[in-house]
Structure 1
Amino acid sequence: MSLNSTPQSVRVHIGLFGKRNAGKSSVVNAITNQEASIVSNIAGTTTDPVLRPIEILPIGPCVLIDTAGLDDIGELGKLRINKSLDVLDKTDIALLIVDSTIGIEKEDLSLIKKFNDKKIPHILILNKIDKVSDKDILLSKSKKLVKCPIICISALNRIGIAELKQCIIDNIKEENTDFRLVSDFIDENDFIVLVIPIDKAAPKGRLILPQQQVIRDILDTGAMAIITKETTLKETLANLNSKPTLIITDSQAFEQVSKDTPIDIPLTSFSILFARQKGDLSELVKGAYSINNLKDGDKILIAEGCTHHRQKDDIGTYKIPKWLKERTKKDLIFEFTSGITFTEDVAKYSLIIHCGACMMNRAAMVSRIEKAKELNVPIVNYGILIAYLKGVLDRSLEPIKAKELLSVD
């Protein structure tokens, strides 16, 4: 994929935070080496978060998120601040921009506390260092207030930008740069069969993002991807000269694919692979078993990370509620969210059912899982729930259990 076509979900998200006029947009321009963001002496020039793609080697594709000032004023300013703070939920590494001529203030310290609470790696950037007469005194004062890495720069004059990039590279968590889906438990020259239904819900003329990303991961390994529909799986397996290493199916075809797949061939789903990559697989599996505890009147949130046109038999708004009611025999209440909006009231739900999060980065999905865990609200994703409802969850987890210890206590 090219730099600009790489999906945001597999980019490292670098959030830039700070007070108005600290120079956040100037830092974006300096890192990208282009005038990508509007820079002005007028406080509050940046309103909504602005995303800029960039590649930082050896990390790879990243996205810079320029946010509004955390000292914004007025009712509209409060809304802007809340939008800036929302960015924390998908930030892999945070850059706190401070005006060197002013120094660290209470808003900056408050934000550092939020970084620490959310366990977000962060860097303090002392900008406009060219306007400070004694850098050593400023650094000494700053080190007494914060324990994170500190970089002195002048975004306007492009001073210290190479050091800043290296500091980002040094402090990013490896788990946020590792986008493997299946490549760590398959080998070169393995045959992998992908079962991809082509129904009216499938986008015309293309594969959906999870399918594309799994195929790319297989190819990067040097293995071979063989693609078929659920209606032709038997014929595909019969025509192979050797047994495939693994079969990966779309969750909606799980039941039929499981019946047509010999028991000695490992089977899993795209959604389960994404659950492993994006967040806490064990927690999501626990969420599937929790459906046995549902009662009449329980509220269930069905959340999706993207927005799309819903058809009458949509998986999230129609099929899953139908299957869940049939399985539990309970009178359940369903609510729905999509896109960047999750929910501010996690505690009112007895279960959260989430999509595979292919359009979200790992930090965003982990944040949602953690919010549910904190309030003891079970959470599961589509594929894991469907596998459980169809009686194939244990089988679909076996390829992963063979690779790593999966605890579902």
Structure 2
Amino acid sequence: MPRLAKPLTELQISKARAKAKPYALADGNGLYLMVSTAGLKTWVVRYRLPGSATATPATIGRYPAMTLAEARVCAVQAKRDAAQGKGTAGTRKAQQVAAQAETGEQEAEAAASAEAERATFRAVSGRWLAERRPGWAAETYRKARLVVDSYLVPKLGDADMRTLETKDVRPVLVEMAAKTPQLARKARQYVGSIVDHAINEGLRPDESALRLARSLPTFRSGHMPAVTDDEGKLGKVMRAIDAHGNRVVRAALTLAALTVMRSGVVASARWSEIDLVAGEWKIPGKEPDGSNRMKTGQDYSTSLPAQALEVLREMHARSAGEEYVFPPQARQNTPHLSRDALSKALRDMGFQGEHTTHGFRASLRTLGRERLGVDVDVLEAQLAHAPKDEVEAAYARVKFKEQRRVVMQAWADYLDKVKGGNVVEFKRKA
């Protein structure tokens, strides 16, 4: 005897999910449920007309519009009609309608799936990064990419930006704050901007910005650690750099201290930018790919004091003919020295939380004013801070060029003195 199908239950039917291929769930008496690859559930009954050698399938309804009990009643009626020589009315049409409905549902599901993927945090943050990249310095983009890819996407990547709420983001930021407070603040800033991007794309209503201002625990202000009031400590930093065992890292740290350029700019310095004869470093505002090299995106030049030229001549003997002044070190994937190698060197030398490579800029800003009596406008021009307008920018480049040359040599001499343990007498600008 043929094996009888075990009757289906409503629970079995409701739990049936789409698979790679269509499949059938038999209920018995010729009735079964077809489940398509799109998850569409259709009731089918097989009946045999008198004199026919084969069974004919007929679509009788869709689940859940037609319940299991109703499908069983329809199946019994189809069998009775067949015994009287009558096919189930509308069988061919029902099959066509079902096929068309399945195709339409598949297309609708595909469109909905594509839209859902486009609305994920992963996709929106990727578009946000791509849009921002042309206006960012390479280091700014690198940091944003690090935070998004390493911290935010692993936790929020599949989140739907159309329904993302503050409560979804806050635990991620709090977890980051416990380990990396500085990056947590950046992450909060980036999430807010990514949400704004989603609003601009029409994925969220205009009034749906997240409330992240108080989402992080209170901690100390995030200024880069820098020595600005202790000449003895600054001298200790300079002596430690002088004694560093890696020649390339030592030279790059020294150039960063002497020119107070940002660490990413120093680490990626090119020989084509440096004029050892004129003693000048001309830095293009943009990288060849159009991204910012300088934070402002504007071309910039700084004079090179005698001490910086000495360091560069030493490196020239090592990397002449190469594109970059400072070659990459072991296990570095960049074509030049990694900026992180400079920060790591200072941490390893015992200055974590006290001084960073970027901190030399704050040292010049404070000590240059208080110890060397440098005019604040000259200091701002040397630090390449963005002027308020184009007229002021042009004015600063022209008016302060020679003054900045004098200041940078005075700064290099000052660093030599504190390195030797000599306290510099306070000078007040008249």
**TM-score band w.r.t. shorter chain:** under 0.3
Structure with a larger share of its residues in strand: 1
> RCO greater where, 1 or 2, for CA within 8 Å and sep 6 or more?
1
Is the radius of gyration larger for structure 1 or structure 2?
A: 2
Structure with a larger share of its residues in helix: 2
